[in-house]
Chain A
Amino acid sequence: ETGVTQTPRHLVMGMTNKKSLKCEQHLGHNAMYWYKQSAKKPLELMFVYNFKEQTENNSVPSRFSPECPNSSHLFLHLHTLQPEDSALYLCASSQDSDGADTQYFGPGTRLTVL
């Protein structure tokens, strides 16, 4: 248990659906991250939020829309996804985004797009 929770753990959606992934951290951290983990590919950073402000958008398609209402919660809103978006989506948090502050990961949401 790392102090970072993600819901749902598994999600199956059609290409026309709209869904949201939720991440919550109970560590008092100020930075939160979304990563995408696809089979046979390195982990890809998608977004970084530091003190609720987005500081990194790693050229992510607009069908992925993040939201960070406060330092403890991070959402990833999904709409009109493609089958190649099927992956494990991991959330992480750290004290802030600088220095050696280590990132603590949640268990991930396994997303399947049909």
Chain B
Amino acid sequence: GEDVEQSLFLSVREGDSSVINCTYTDSSSTYLYWYKQEPGAGLQLLTYIFSNMDMKQDQRLTVLLNKKDKHLSLRIADTQTGDSAIYFCAEKGSSGNTGKLIFGQGTTLQVKP
């Protein structure tokens, strides 16, 4: 079945770049998403990328997609303490149109001052 995997934890120093990685198994994925969850809150959409793109940049965020390897990454430049949160990768397949997203377990980003 479809599966999305992420490393569980990443620690960086303030001002450094953070790179959060994700792999997925569904070769028919059409869209891939990054969500952020702060403590006690729901998921906030950060960005998404269509499967025919290989890169998308939005201010401090850069998404890279390697469709051949089914690998997605999120780079956060100049990481701040406010970026500390759990980051979820999610993919949407093309099978059916029920809007089903498959989420990874989330990567906890810890930013040290």
Measured between beta carbons, the chain B residues less than 8 angstroms from A107 are 40-42
Measured between beta carbons, the chain B residues less than 8 angstroms from A40 are 105
Interface centre among A6, A31, A43 (most CB of B within 10 A): A43
- A106: nearest residue on chain B (CB-CB)? B42
CA distance A41 to B98 in the complex (A): 22
Distance in angstroms from A2 CB to nearest chain B CB is 7
Mark out the residues of chain B between 86 and 105 whose CB falls within 8 Å of any chain A CB in the assembled complex: 88, 90, 92, 97-105
Beta-carbon contact of B48 and A101 below 8 Å = no
Secondary structure of the B contact surface, majority rule: strand
In the complex, whether B109 has a CB less than 8 A from a CB of chain A is no
Say which residue of A6, A43, A102 sits within 8 Å of B48 (CB atoms): A102
Mark out the residues of chain A between 1 and 48 whose CB falls within 8 Å of any chain B CB in the assembled complex: 2, 4, 6, 31, 33, 40-43, 45, 48
Chain A residues close to B by CB (< 8 Å): 2, 4, 6, 31, 33, 40-43, 45, 48, 50, 55-56, 58, 90, 92, 94, 96-98, 100-108
